[in-house]
Structure 1
Amino acid sequence: MTPAVFAHGNLRLYLLALLEERPRHGYELIQALSERFGGTYSPSAGTIYPRLAKLEEEGLVTKRTDGRKTVYEITDAGRAELESRRHELDAIEDDVTDSVRRLAEGVRAEVDSAMRSLRAELANAAREARKAASTTSATVHVNAEGNRAVHEADLVLNEFRQQLRTELRTQAQRGKLTDGTVSLLKARLADVRAEVLRELAGR
């Protein structure tokens, strides 16, 4: 995800606030931002480093080399600007909270959509199986078995969805829900759907 969670100029001020806490290298700043957003937003290096370069040009931060890492540190000029705009930080924090909520809702929506799609595929497969069945007395048996199987599958999917939503919310609050986790979930759900459809098609 790469949403525009910061209004113009706010990320610049937020970086100064993070550097006021302590000197950090670029990856630590990315991690700090990700933690503030509960893992639902992680800025790219292409977003962070140009802003750090601009802050350095303006004399608000300095950088030094620590082994293979470049560490950024706020200057007195940076602290002065931060102090003069301290009142804006509270508003930014409020925006961050709202953004976390919106992004978490987006994650849940994606998971719900994937689950609905899987359930629709299963129901469609059951309908196709009923259509393909003969019109003899075996049809009643096939329909009954198909309906029972769809009902059981629906129960399993609902239980999985509820358990997963609870765990996602818990991990988001702990700052452990990341884009990688969501991508893994979507990929695994796609794999399960494909495997189920292959198994049904083979019957």
Structure 2
Amino acid sequence: GRGWGDEYRTRRGDIKFILLELLSEHPSHGYDLIKEMETRHGGFRRLSPGSVYPTLQLLEEGGYLKSAQEGGKRIYTITDEGRQLLAERTQQEPSDSPWDTFKSFVTGKPQEFIELRNAATELAAAVVQVARSGNMERINRVRELLEQVKREIYAILAEK
């Protein structure tokens, strides 16, 4: 079966098209591209610097982007060649843009994703508080509870 996130996991090679698509909207630097991707996916998808920066460099070397230092940051701008590559991708696979799978997965549900992320964040904060208390009885009770909840979540994922 497919696990959490498989429905919108980025296929190898799609990152260049995601970056080109973001840069077709406006010039940006790598960190802003990472944050924009995360924001568009409600915090559930984040590109790693280890995949973004080498891809930006390759795209620039290929003539699909150009960059300039501005205020201590390297700002990338899509070139006409980059727009052409993006257009060709859209023509070849019109219903398979890098965003489409994720968009279809969350359409009409972005608030639920944000609420789920917030609940998970709040839970993590509570667990940290228990760990900091140093009370081994509480720590063990919370660990057992988390293991039970994890099993229940997997049971939900296994449902058809």
SS in 2 for 1:24: coil
User: Rg: which structure is higher?
Assistant: 1
Larger RCO, structure (CA 8 Å, separation 6 or more): 1
Q: 1:76 aligns with which of 62, 80, 89?
A: 80
Instruction: Structure 2 unaligned segments of length 5 or more: list them.
Output: 140-160
- 1:185 pairs, out of 123, 127, 130, with 123
RMSD of the alignment, in Å?
3.7
Equivalent of residue 20 in structure 2, options 13, 16, 20:
16
TM-fit CA distance, 1:95: 1.9
Whole-Å separation in 1 of the counterparts to 2:129 and 2:15: 38
Kindly provide the amino acid, as one letter, of the partner of residue 42 in structure 1. R
Q: Is the CA contact 2:66–2:78 (under 8 Å) kept in the aligned structure 1?
A: yes
Structure 2 match to 1:53: 57
Equivalences for 1:28-67 in 2 at 5 Å?
28-67=32-71
TM-superposition CA deviations, 1:116-141 (whole Å, max 9, x none)? xxxxxxxxxxxxxxxxxxxxxxxxxx
Q: How far did 1:191 drift?
A: 3.5
Q: Which residue in the other structure is 2:100 paired with?
A: 94
**In the alignment, which residue of structure 2 is the partner of 1:197?**
137
Cα pair distance change 1:49/1:189, threshold 3 Å: same
Gap regions ≥5 residues in structure 1: 105-168
Change (3 A) 1:197 1:170: farther
- Give the structure-1-normalised TM-score: 0.52
TM-score for the superposition, normalised by structure 2: 0.65
| Percent identity (aligned) | 32
Q: Is the 8 A contact 1:5 1:99 kept in 2?
A: no
Tell me, what secondary structure is at the counterpart of 2:101? helix
Deviations 1:73-124 (A, max 9, x none): 00111111111112436423232236769xx9xxxxxxxxxxxxxxxxxxxx
Structure with bigger helix share is 1
CA contact (8 A) 1:25 1:70 kept: yes
Q: Distance in 1 between the 2:105 and 2:135 partners?
A: 36
The alpha carbon displacement at 1:41 in A equals 1.5
Q: Out of 8, 23, 26, which is 2:30 matched to?
A: 26
Shift in CA distance, 89/31, structure 1 to aligned 2, threshold 3 Å: farther
